[in-house]
Amino acid sequence: MLFTYDTEMALQAAVALVNSAVEPETMLTVEELDAFWDEWGYTGSHVGDEAELASVRDLRPSLRTLLTSTRDEAVPMVNEILAEHTAVPRLVRHGNIDWHLHAVADDEPLATRISVETAMAMIDVIRADEMSRLDVCADDDCDGVVLDLSRNRSKRFCSTACGNRNAVAAYRARRAAD
Ligand SMILES: [Zn+2]
Ligand SMILES: [Zn+2]
């Protein structure tokens, strides 16, 4: 594992959220927010209404900027998020997740917790000088963000669909060249 479990989960969740804004857009309904909540193992407050959905959707542009920035650009963004929400890291253990960090109260709004968790995860990425793990999808027509946590840095596409489409295109190009 490249980073700690909570850092990797937070990064993956942030990338999934950012990519939900990429065509075809998802995260359009409260049900999709519920599914996102379940998938990424969130705890704490979850109202499950349109206002909460809107606040989570509204995070996407700024999270995208943070995840695709340079290391030095990311630092002030991370510091600002932590200061804005008065983040105070503390170790917690819940469910089957061993000791990990929470930095705001569990009853803070979901959008706040996502924002702060992403900033906390980016602390690790910045300190380890691993910003190259985050990039834009190698598909020419896709704006998805890719998080490559693989040992051999082999991940170039944001989704299996993008990977398959490019594999097919590369295969056709090879055959056409024969
Ligand atoms: Zn937790
Ligand atoms: Zn893609």
Mean pLDDT of 166-175: 90
pLDDT tens profile 141-165: 999 999 999 999 999 999 999 999 9
Q: How far apart are CA 17 and CA 7, in angstroms?
A: 15
Mean pLDDT of 30-52: 96
Place of tokens 């509204």: 58
Residue 91 is predicted with a pLDDT of: 97
What secondary structure letter does DSSP report for 25?
P
pLDDT higher than 90, residue 140: yes
Mean of the per-residue pLDDT values for the chain?
A: 96
Q: For residue 61, how far is its CA from the centre of ligand 1 (angstroms)?
A: 24
- b (16+ CB within 10 A) / e for 10-33: bbebbbbbbbbbbeeeebeeeeeb
The enclosing H or E element of 5 equals helix 5-19
Residue 178 is predicted with a pLDDT of: 78
Q: For residue 18, how far is its CA from the centre of ligand 2 (angstroms)?
A: 12
Supply the pTM of this predicted model.
0.94
Task: Give the pair of three-digit tokens for residue 33.
Answer: 């927010």
Residue 1 is predicted with a pLDDT of: 85
Gyration radius of the chain's alpha carbons: 17
Task: Provide DSSP, 98-152.
Answer: EEEEE-S-TTS-HHHHHHHHHHHHHHHHHHTT-GGGEEE-SSTT---EEE---TT
Best CA proximity match to 105, nearest among 95, 118, 92: 92
Q: Identify which ligand lies nearest to the alpha carbon of 95.
A: 1
Residue 177 is predicted with a pLDDT of: 86
Which pLDDT band, with edges at 50, 70 and 90, does 12 fall under?
very high
pLDDT higher than 90, residue 51: yes
Q: For residue 58, how far is its CA from the centre of ligand 1 (angstroms)?
A: 23
Q: What are phi and psi of 155, to 5 degrees?
A: -90, 120
Mean pLDDT of 74-87: 98
Q: Do 15 and 147 contact (CB within 8 A), yes or no? A: yes
C-alpha distances (whole Å) from 46 to each of 27, 109, 114 are 15, 8, 12
Q: What share of the chain has pLDDT > 70, as a percent?
A: 100
